[in-house]
Amino acid sequence: MSGDARFLRAASATAIMPGAFEHVAIAGHDLLICNVGGAFYAIENRCSHQKKPLDQGRLVREGIVCPFHGATFDVRTGASTGFPKCRSIRHFITRVVGDDVEVALT
């Protein structure tokens, strides 16, 4: 079994420039697909501090800053990286197939 069935198309790779991210809803998940120097990462669009959305936040390389209270997360791992220190947010494995960014959803 390849496990490919878990991957769902989430975005167009060429539509998300390096340094940018796209807010997508897919299979009941609210996600941000982030392009960090050409590599794609998927995180849930929900800050673990006050459960606010992150999609109006600022992405600087691998770090995203919550627009509400400034919590910061590494989009590669979902880890909280500063104040206010909080739990990691969910992140998902991605792959690029052709122009499709696919996300492994469980």
Partner 1 sequence: MLGLERPEVDYREGVRMTPRVEAGPLAEKAPYIDHGTAIVDPRRYRDPAEAAREWEKMWTKVWTLAGFASDIPHAGDWFKYDLGPESFVVVRGEDDKIRAFYNVCPHRGNRIVRSDFGTATDCFTCAFHGWRFGHDGGLLSVKDPETFRPEVLAHATGLTEVRCDMWAGLVFVSMDPDVVDLRTFLGILPEHLDAFHFEKMRVSEDIVYTYDANWKTTYDAFMEFYHADMIHPELGEAMETYYNQYDLYPLGISRMLLPFGYAPDKTADPSVVNEALVQTLVRYEGDPEEWKHLTGEEYAEAILEAKRRLADREGWDHFKDLSDSQVVGDWNYSFFPNVTINIFGEMAYFQIFRPHATDPMKCVWRSVQLNLVGRNGFQPVLATGLGNEQDDPNGWDGTVRPPIVYAQTPEDTGFILAQDAYLVPPVQEGVNSRSFKGFILSEQEIRIRHYLAELDRYLNA
By CB under 8 A, name the binding residues for partner 1.
Answer: 17-20, 37-38, 49, 56-58, 60-61, 63, 65, 67-72, 82-84
CB of 97 to partner 1, least distance (A): 20
Tally the C-alpha atoms within 13 A of residue 72's C-alpha that lie toward its C-beta: 9
CB of 24 to partner 1, least distance (A): 19
3-state secondary structure 28-85: CEEEEEEEECCEEEEEECCCCCCCCCCCCCEEECCEEECCCCCCEEECCCCCECCCCC
Provide the CA 60 distance to its chain's centre, in angstroms. Answer: 13
When the beta carbons of 19 and 98 are compared against partner 1, the nearer one is 19
CB of 31 to partner 1, least distance (A): 19
When the beta carbons of 18 and 98 are compared against partner 1, the nearer one is 18
When the beta carbons of 12 and 50 are compared against partner 1, the nearer one is 50
